[in-house]
Homo-oligomer: A and B are copies of this chain.
Amino acid sequence: MREMHLNLFIFGCGHHRAAWRHPQSAVEQLSDISYYTNLAQIAERGKFDAIFFADWHAIDNIADGPRSYFDPLTLLAALAGVTEKIGLISTVSSTFTTPFHAARTLASLDHLSKGRIGWNVVTSMFDSEARNHGYENMPPHEWRYGRAAEFIEAVQKLWDSWDADTITCDRSGDYARKDGLRAIHHKGEHFTTQGPLTIPRPPQGQPVLFQAGASDQGRALAAEKAEAIYAVAYDLPAAQDYYRDIQRRAKLAGRDAGIPVMPGLVTYVASTQAEAKAKQRELDELLPTADSLRQLGMFIVQDCSGWELDAPVPALPPIEDFTGPKGRYATILRIIETEQPTLRQLLGRLAAGGGHCTIVGTAEAIADQMELWWHNEGADGFNLMPPSLPSSIEDFVEQVVPVLQKRGVFRSDYQTDTLRGHLSLPLTDKP
């Protein structure tokens, strides 16, 4: 039976850029593991499929607020010990690491967590990140996607370099079957690695591969290799466009089962619409305007610091002429096209989740929207991006999850112990 999937995307004090400025924010605790333990346990109480961490390899605009902090791979190792069932997903940049390192670390995590690991492969985007890793600037998009495809292939070959039953522990004979592991002799355009891996086959066979491509090449890679997909969709039509395109591409790539697509979702939930609106306004009012204009400038790759706040947003170049990351830019164009917002209204829209779908209302109203997307080729689940942490995710788990459970679209308890199980993905226990 089809089931909705929910991930919690943990980010600083929440996805609203001003969340850390709230008097009750836990901003002083962002270096303390107990903060993340609490969030992971709230999501597990809500029976979420997984928690998810993004990753950046550079610090920009540190004065504006907290961004990344812990290395997400070490953070997941720590959180594996304080959770039991929930999946644990880390972003991994194929541009900055190598298959052997990634395969080894993720296999280690999958053993530590007894089969709960997912990896979200990204190609990264900022020059400041590239320069921390010895590049002069970020390599071209096409080169990065070529590397990503080879990266995924090599990582999976390394996991497959061990059979599941290689270790036999025969005390009076051999510790392992010598023919249960083998070199892979990978030699590609970007990587050379001999194998086998130093660690036995992960409990899941292969940890679950997430991908989030929005560009043509990103979608092609996702359709070919991803086992679940993060998406950006500001409304149902946008979600459907993406969803149908991905499933069409997946079919063309010869994959018969659909790929679960999980758009980002920002929710403000309260017992009345007015109260939910007030929660949103409370955060929006904490937002310094200069900060938001700078963020918008990054998204559209032009300086908008001199623009008039209460006038309509000036016309932006069409997407064909835009050379930066296209996903978010397309969303901004769509918001401008459908809502004709003033600059101030656009900033408010972008301040939480940066153009991801935002729903403000009662638990019933939010569940209605989620179901609408879920029934109509908009989403198989959602990547929750709570504007404020922990309060927004507590609200969601306490108020929205029970509604979804009562309607029978979301699990009332975990039925399996692995992320692959939660997502109803086929096992990969044999190479």
Which of A19-78 touch B at CB < 8 Å?
A: 20-23, 25, 27-28, 31, 33, 56-59, 62-71, 73-75, 77-78
Known A63-B178, A176-B62; contact A171-B132, beta-carbon cutoff 8 A? no
Does B28 contact A169, Cβ atoms closer than 8 Å?
A: yes
Inter-chain CA distance A97–B111, complex, in Å, is 22
A199 contacts partner chain B, Cβ-Cβ < 8 Å: yes
Contact (A193, B104) CB under 8 Å given A28-B169, A64-B175, A71-B199: no
Number of chain A residues close to chain B: CB under 8 A: 68
Determine which of B27, B69, B97, B175 lies in contact with A171 in the assembled complex, contact meaning CB atoms within 8 Å.
B27
A255 shortest CB reach to chain B, Å: 30
Known: A77-B78, A181-B62. A21 touches B171 (CB 8 A): yes
CB pair B33 A65 closer than 8 Å: no
**Nearest B residue to A67 by beta-carbon distance?**
B198
Q: How far is the CA of A224 from the CA of B23 in the complex (A)?
A: 48
Known: A58-B198, A78-B80, A198-B59. A108 touches B70 (CB 8 A): yes
Per-position binary interface string of chain A over residues 379-406, scored 1 when its CB falls under 8 Å from any chain B CB and 0 otherwise: 0000000000000000000000000000
A-B contact pairs, 15 of them (CB 8 A): A20-B169, A20-B171, A21-B171, A27-B175, A33-B112, A62-B175, A62-B176, A63-B178, A68-B198, A69-B200, A70-B108, A73-B105, A74-B112, A77-B77, A98-B134
Residues of A within 8 A of B (CB): 20-23, 25, 27-28, 31, 33, 56-59, 62-71, 73-75, 77-78, 80-82, 96-98, 100-101, 104-105, 107-109, 111-112, 128, 131-134, 166, 169, 171-172, 174-178, 181, 191-200
Collect the chain B residues with CB atoms within 8 Å of residue A175's CB: 20, 27, 62-66
Contact B100 A132 (CB under 8 A): yes
Min Cβ gap A28→B in Å is 6
**A108 to B90, alpha carbons, bound, how many Å?**
15
Supposing A62-B178, A100-B57, A198-B68 touch, asked if A25 and B171 sit within 8 A by C-beta, the answer is yes
